[in-house]
Amino acid sequence: MPKFLYTARAVDGEIRSGSQEAKDREDLAHILRAQGVIMTSADEEGSVIKSSALGKMLRGAKPFRGVSLVDKIMFTRNLAVMIGAGLALNKALSVLEEQSENQKLKAIIAEVVNNVQAGKAFSECIAAHPDAFPDLYVNMVRIGETAGNLEEVLNGLANQMKKDHDIVSRVRGALMYPAVIFTVMLLVGYLMMILVVPKLAATFMDIGAELPASTKVLIFLSNVMLNYWYFVIGGAVGLIYAMRLALRTASGKKGLDALILRLPIIKGLSRKLNSARLCRTLGILVDSGVPIVKALEILAKTLSNHYFSESLSTAALEIQKGKTLFESLKKYKGLYPPLVVQMIAVGEETGSLTKVLTKLAEFYEDEVNELTKNLSTIIEPIMMVVIGAGVGFFALSMITPMYSVMDNI
């Protein structure tokens, strides 16, 4: 059995910590409860998300940052454990507020505690903080309160967020290598432009060589970078700022999403990633008793790509008019892989939509994992071609004038 490092609160308020073998966190909570203490946090030995000094340092480095996905995972999982151990909701929230190292989350929990103690429902309290708790989270908590299985719902939410975190981490990790290579390439190119090109340009002027257009372009760019570097930096910062502003607008976000769905490699990853999220989340919502129309409306606000969200909003309206989910989604051939639409049709016909969606989610999560593993291998030759083209252009531009001088000798 795994071994957990835990902290717990005794009846007299004393904080205790130690290690204990258990099947999982819920089993550990029951073991500690039998010993007369209430578990407040627990992490499996070797975990770096919560227990390591580095993890704590990283989480505390930005006290006023937003509530990250990892923060929400730990909050949700620990709340589920404490509720399962018999701790009252307001008391569990107070303990989590005291533990939280994220100042924004700490302030949110403090407000939620006050509202819960005033008699408001937990789901109503967290709904007032949409930046930290999106519609999906709020609705799932509301379902758990209504059905009386809040602990189970919170565990399901924590597992879902953990899957999302793992997928996003793999995608970012796969893109890290080409990003580093591209940054190094830009740095080397800049150093060549300000250190090498000026010396070669002076040599060409001294010998009166006739310069081709490509060489003149390089010399012009070198002069700009050397003598007007502040304009270059200002222009780059301004461009980045303008792009960020544009991406905050609806049209800018829509344009980026359209570009993602057209890029040769990225579009396949985006389709599979959004399909996995759709199937996983829709399966959880439907299995929890949420009507399909309401579930699609919630999902439309959850998926990050505008076109996927728009397709689900349209599907919700069409289902209200009598169409099936299969009929609504089959026209979006550029978004959903054929397997998704076909299996949804099977699920609707056989009355096993939840089971089908769960299987689809597992399949496409595995597909995303495999694709991200191979992404660096796919991008590497493309990066080598780009670097080779840049080096070739530079070499040709610098060597051509030398050949023309030698021909005139």
3-state SS string for 214-259: HHHHHHHHHHHHHHCHHHHHHHHHHHHHHHHHHHHCHHHHHHHHHH
Confidence check: pLDDT of 46 > 60: no
- Identify the CA nearest to 306 among candidates 338, 330, 274, 272: 274
Same domain, 117 and 180: no
Q: What is the pLDDT of residues 158-215, one digit of tens each?
A: 888 888 788 778 777 777 877 888 888 888 888 888 888 888 888 877 777 678 888 8
In a domain, residue 160? The reply is no
Look at residue 344 in the predicted model and tell me its pLDDT. 92
In a domain, residue 158? The reply is no
Same domain, 112 and 185: no
Residue range 11-18: average pLDDT? Answer: 61
Same domain, 119 and 195: no
Same domain, 97 and 237: no
Q: What is the pLDDT of residues 232-256, one digit of tens each?
A: 889 889 999 998 888 888 888 888 8
Same domain, 347 and 205: yes
Same domain, 294 and 198: yes
In the structure, what pLDDT confidence band is assigned to residue 52 with cuts at 50, 70 and 90?
very low
Read off the tokens for 64: 């006023």
Burial class (CB in 10 A: 0-12, 13-18, 19+), 335: buried
Same domain, 116 and 191: no
Same domain, 105 and 20: yes
In a domain, residue 163? The reply is no
Last residue of a domain, one of 117, 133, 149: 133
Same domain, 96 and 184: no
Look at the chain and report how many structural domains it folds into. Answer: 2
Same domain, 27 and 128: yes
Number of alpha carbons in the 13 Å side-chain half-sphere of residue 272? 19
Confidence check: pLDDT of 303 > 70: yes
Last residue of a domain, one of 108, 133, 158: 133
Look at residue 49 in the predicted model and tell me its pLDDT. 41
Same domain, 62 and 179: no
Residue range 213-230: average pLDDT? Answer: 86
Instruction: Give the global pTM.
Output: 0.66
Last residue of a domain, one of 133, 148, 163: 133
Confidence check: pLDDT of 268 > 80: yes
CATH value at residue 207: 1.20.81.30
**By percentage, how much of the chain surpasses pLDDT 90?**
9
In a domain, residue 109? The reply is yes
In a domain, residue 138? The reply is no
Same domain, 88 and 236: no
Look at residue 180 in the predicted model and tell me its pLDDT. 84
In a domain, residue 100? The reply is yes
Confidence check: pLDDT of 57 > 50: no
CATH value at residue 90: 1.20.81
Confidence check: pLDDT of 318 > 50: yes
Give the distance, in angstroms, between the CA of residue 233 and the centroid of all CA atoms in the same chain. 29
Residue range 325-347: average pLDDT? Answer: 90
Confidence check: pLDDT of 50 > 50: no
Look at residue 345 in the predicted model and tell me its pLDDT. 92
Q: Write the CB contacts of 84 (distance below 8 Å, at least 6 apart in sequence).
A: 26, 29, 30, 151
In a domain, residue 151? The reply is no
How high is the mean pLDDT of the chain?
A: 81
Query: Where is pLDDT greater, at 59 or 228?
Result: 228
Query: Where is pLDDT greater, at 174 or 86?
Result: 86
Look at residue 48 in the predicted model and tell me its pLDDT. 38
In a domain, residue 361? The reply is yes
Q: Which domain holds residue 303?
A: 172-409
